[in-house]
Amino acid sequence: MSAITWADGAKAERDKKWLDPLLVGSNAALTGFYMAFAPTVRVVFRDELVPKTDKPIIYITWHRMNYAATPVFRQVPPRDRPTFIAHNGVASRAFSHQAPVWLGFDVFAFRKGRERSPRDQIIDYIQTTRRPILNLPDSGGPYGKMKPGIVEVARACDAVVVPFVVLTEGAATIGKKMKHVLPMPFARLEARRGALLDGHASAADCQRELDALL
C-alpha cells in the first residue's frame, strides 16, 4: 500500500496546522480531476521506460512535466513506480502529499531548514529502501536548467539516472513562470527515454539528454 515516508522516520512536523483541511482538500481536488480524465487519456511509450538493472533508479524530467508523468507511471507495475519526492513546505503539502499516495505512488518527504541537507536525506532514503525515485532537477528555477544536486545523489547511491520527457497532444498549460503541462480529457501522452547515465555523469550530460528528447 502506498504511503508517505518522512525523513528520519519521524512523524510529520507541520507549520500552520490550521491549513490542514484546506491542504487535504487541494490534494483531493487534484486527485478527483485526474481520475475524471485518466480513463480517456492515451499513453504511448516510444522507449521502454523502466530499465533492467539491479541498481537504484533515479528518473529525471523537467518540473513542468510533473503532472504529465503521473499517468505515464500509472501504466507500469506498482513495484516499478518511482517514489515522488516532496517536502514539509505548504506548497508541497498542498499538491504532492496525499494526492500521489491516493493515485498509487509512494512519497518521500524531506525536511527543509534542517542541519542535514535535502540531498543527504534523499540519499538516506535511496540507500535504505533501494526504491526508484522521480526527481525534478529544475525545481525552484531556473526552469529547464539542470541542477547538479541529483547527480551527486546518484554518485553517492551508485544509481542509474534515467532522463525522460512526456510530449503531449491535448494538454493545457498553467502557471506564468513554469507552465505546468496538465493533460486534458482524451489527451495523448508520449513518453520518451534518453540514454541511461551512471553516477559519473555530469549535470551537463543530463541536460543534453533531456534537451535531445524534446
Helix (H, G, I), strand (E, B), or coil: what is residue 7?
helix
Q: Are 8 and 122 in contact (CB under 8 A)?
A: no
Buried b (16+ CB within 10 A) or exposed e, 48-67: ebbeeeebbbbbbbbbbbbb
Report pTM: 0.94
> What is the predicted pLDDT for the residue at 34?
93
Instruction: Report how far Cα 179 is from the mean position of its chain's Cα atoms.
Output: 16
pLDDT the model gives residue 19:
80
pLDDT digits (tens, 9 = 90+) for 112-159: 887 889 999 999 999 999 999 999 999 988 999 999 999 999 999 999
pLDDT tens-place string over residues 18-76: 688 899 999 999 999 999 999 999 999 999 999 999 999 999 999 999 999 999 999 99
How are beta strands 4-6 and 42-45 bridged, if at all? unpaired
What would the grid cell of residue 177 be?
A: 513562470
- Count of C-beta atoms within a 10 Å radius of residue 116: 13
Condensed to tens digits (0 to 9), the pLDDT of residues 171-210 reads 999 887 778 899 999 999 999 999 999 988 999 999 999 9
User: What letter does residue 133 receive in the DSSP assignment?
Assistant: E
Amino acid at the residue 169 = E
- In 3D, which of 106, 125, 100 has the Cα closest to residue 31? 100
CA distance 194 to 206: 9
